[in-house]
Amino acid sequence: MSRRIVIADPLKFAADGARLSGVVPVAELSRLAGVVVDTVGAVSYELVGESGLGRSPALRFSASVVLQLCCQRCLEALEWPLARESVLQLVRPGTPIPDEELENDEADVIEAVPDMDVLALVEDELLLAVPLAPRHESCDPPRPLGGADKESPFAALAKLRKDSRAH
């Protein structure tokens, strides 16, 4: 259950241009599992080390998954394909992160801690991409409890208007 996948030395991983990829079931990622209505499916992820000419060491991150989110309008399950790509710039642990880096949307800065927890990173990155209020493209809100009436509220309103006009 609690598999642990680590990058022993992230700076070396970047320098070597190493590559790590895998698949992890949504059910094994507890924080991600907490935002779905069903934990079916699995995350495919890949990390590629980068440290080209004049570039600071970085990890190029990509992951994709189809999540079962809860539609905020009809409250039914909603299949949500999620993909995220990002560049994670590595700094030595304890290095203060310059303000301009924090404002740079193109790259996130993370500490190159030894034995970096890959699945925690995958989860952190995907949680950033989960929408706050996902909705089907077209669906109806649930009927109020006890409302056996098949009429929509709009039809009822129109009828009310017509009746009041008749008087």
Contacts to Zn ion by CB under 5 A: 71, 73-74, 136, 139
In angstroms, rounded to a whole number, what is the distance separating the alpha carbons of residues 124 and 14? Answer: 20
Q: What are phi and psi of 90, to 5 degrees?
A: -95, 135
Closest contact distance (angstroms) between CB of 4 and Zn ion is 37
Task: Check: CB of residue 48 under 8 Å from CB of residue 69.
Answer: no
Closer Cβ to Zn ion, 33 or 37, answer by number: 37
Comparison of 42 and 74: residue with beta carbon closer to Zn ion: 74
Beta carbon of residue 148, minimum distance to Zn ion (angstroms, whole number): 22
Alpha-carbon distance of 161 to 73, in angstroms, equals: 27
Cα pseudo-dihedral 122, 92, 48, 127, rounded to 10: 20
Which stretch of DSSP H or E encloses residue 88?
strand 77-91
Residue number with CB closer to Zn ion (84 or 136): 136
What is the smallest separation between the CB atom of 136 and Zn ion, expressed in angstroms? 3
Nearer to Zn ion (CB atom), residue 102 or residue 139: 139
What is the closest distance, in whole angstroms, from the C-beta atom of residue 81 to Zn ion in the complex? 16
